[in-house]
Amino acid sequence: METVVIEKGSSRVEVLSDSEALSHKAAETFVNGSKKSVAERGRFAAAISGGSTPTRLYTLLGTSAYRDRVDWQHVHLFWVDERCVPKEHEKSNFRIAFDALLSRAPVPDGNIHRIKGEEVPEKAARDYERVMRRFFGISWMPMFDLVILGVGKDGHTASLFPGSKSLEETARLAVPVYLDEPDLNRVTLTLPVLNHAFQIVFLVTGRSKADILSAILEDEEKKKRFPAGLVRPVEGSLTWLIDRDAAEKLNRNDA
Ligand code: 6PG
């Protein structure tokens, strides 16, 4: 199947046949983005997600077909969110990326800027903010070259959940998120940080995401209720890579 491109307001939506095609497209996006950023700014700073959807992307980036096309010395990896668990924990977003990618690609240790999930949430968020301020410059909003996001069925993205106070944050770069069970507490980047990125790419697969995608992409009123619908880059680009199943409820679904 050819990729179908649908323009939805300022978002570009690319419908791919399945999650494998989507992961390859995301890997190409990462490789090309890294080349452009290294050429223009001397480095490539990417903030990556947890969740199950991007794991295949990380695995592909660790294979020679993609790995050998990236100048890893100049790649800096950050996370959009983290669960408050040790880094070896199976729920750790760092661990997912480590197993799939970091253990296979020559990223210098100093270029890996993880969120310390082993700390209490407030401290982990403050420490992470310091790490970003040091990297991007203390007085300005970080501008990631690429931010990779997913969407939950409830419309959350990163660890920004519907109705959460963290959605109103305008000063902090990262905040703690307290959920019902302690090992589900998290730290997340805030909306202003996401929205200042040069390039934002959502990865969404499966029928279970079809309703939320149609609300976010096609209903101007409803989208504001969902954190993922509040992701609107100030100047950068916003692309949705979705598979055919996730696109099922979109009006112009000619996929
Ligand atoms: C996380 C995420 C989260 C995720 C969505 C979608 O750490 O879990 O950053 O926002 O992207 O929940 O997750 P799936 O890819 O598993 O559907």
What is the rounded CA–CA span in Å between residue 216 and residue 200?
A: 15
- In the predicted model, is pLDDT for residue 179 greater than 90? no
180-237 residue pLDDT tens: 876 689 999 999 999 999 999 999 999 999 999 999 999 989 999 999 999 999 999 9
What is the rounded CA–CA span in Å between residue 36 and residue 24?
A: 18
- At 255 the pLDDT is 42
Q: Which atom of ligand 1 lies at the shortest distance from residue 206's CA?
A: 17
- At 251 the pLDDT is 85
- At 182 the pLDDT is 63
pLDDT band, residue 9 (cuts 50/70/90): confident
69-84 residue pLDDT tens: 999 999 999 999 999 9
Closest CA to 131 of 120, 142, 121, 122: 142
Residue whose CA is at the smallest distance from ligand 1 atom 8: 51
| Type of residue numbered 19 | S
Distance 40 CA to ligand 1 centre (A): 30
pLDDT band, residue 112 (cuts 50/70/90): very high
Secondary structure in 3-state letters for the chain: CCCEEEEECCEEEEEECCHHHHHHHHHHHHHHHHHHHHHHHCCEEEEECCCCCCHHHHHHHCCHHHHCCCCHHHEEEEECEEECCCCCCCCCHHHHHHHHHHCCCCCCHHHEECCCCCCCHHHHHHHHHHHHHHHHCCCCCCCCCEEEECCCCCCCECCECCCCHHHHCCCCCEEEECCCCHHHCEEEECHHHHHCCCEEEEEECCHHHHHHHHHHHHCCCHHHHCHHHHCCCCCCEEEEEEECCCCCCCCCCCC
Distance 204 CA to ligand 1 centre (A): 9
pLDDT band, residue 254 (cuts 50/70/90): very low
146-164 residue pLDDT tens: 999 999 999 999 999 999 9
Q: What is the pTM of this model?
A: 0.96
Residue 242 sits at the vertex; the CA angle it makes with 241 and 248, to the nearest 5 degrees, is: 150
121-130 residue pLDDT tens: 999 999 999 9
**What lines the ligand 1 site, CB under 6 Å?**
49-53, 80-81, 93, 150-152, 156-158
